[in-house]
Amino acid sequence: MKQAIESRILTFIGEHHIFTLAVTRDNRPWCATCYYIYLEDLNLFVFTSDHDTKHIADVVESGNYYAAGAIAVETSMVGKIRGLQFAGFMRKLIGNELKTAKSAYLKAFPVALLAHLHLWGLEPEIMKMTDNRLGFGKKLLWHRNEQ
C-alpha cells in the first residue's frame, strides 16, 4: 500500500511553478532552474528542456536518470522558511503521458505555445518538506515505498 502524500506537501507544490533540478555526470553535479507543473494523479513533476541543455545532455549521455529537485520560499524570516527537496527518476514523456502532460503544461504556461516543447517528467521516490511555520525545523517526509 502506497503512503499518501501529505496534503501540505501537495499544497506547497501547487503554490509554486519553478524548481531547481540537480543532475550528475561523472560525479560532477549540475543544476538548472525549470518551470514545472505537477500532475498529482501521476505523482509527476513535468518540465520542458531542450536536448542540447547541459542538464539533459548530462542525463542522457551518462544514462543516470536519477535526479533531485528543490523548491524554496525566499525569506530572511526564520519562522517563515519553507522548502521541498525531492529525488526520483527522470524520463522523456511519450504517448498518453505526453499528451496529458502537454495539455496541462500549456494550460499553466500558455506562452509555451510559442516554443517547441521537450517535456520531461520526474517521478519522486522521496519528498522532504521543511516548514518552520509548524515549528522550527519541522519536517514532513514522504517516501513512495513506505507504508
Q: What is the DSSP string of 85-147?
A: EEEEEEEE--HHHHHHHHHHHHHH-GGGGGS---EEEEEEEEEEEEEGGGSTT-EEEEETT--
Q: Is residue 113 part of a domain?
A: yes
Q: Is residue 39 part of a domain?
A: yes
CATH assignment at residue 129: 2.30.110.10
pLDDT for 132 equals: 75
Q: Is residue 71 part of a domain?
A: yes
Q: Is residue 2 part of a domain?
A: no
Q: Is residue 1 part of a domain?
A: no
**Tens-level pLDDT at each residue, the chain (147 residues):** 567 899 999 999 999 999 999 999 999 999 999 999 999 999 999 999 999 999 999 999 999 999 999 999 887 777 777 899 999 999 999 999 999 999 999 999 999 988 889 999 999 999 999 877 766 767 888 998 864
d(CA 132, CA 129): 10
pLDDT for 20 equals: 98
Q: Which strand (E) or helix (H) includes residue 84? A: strand 82-92
Number of independent structural domains in the chain? 1
pLDDT for 140 equals: 81
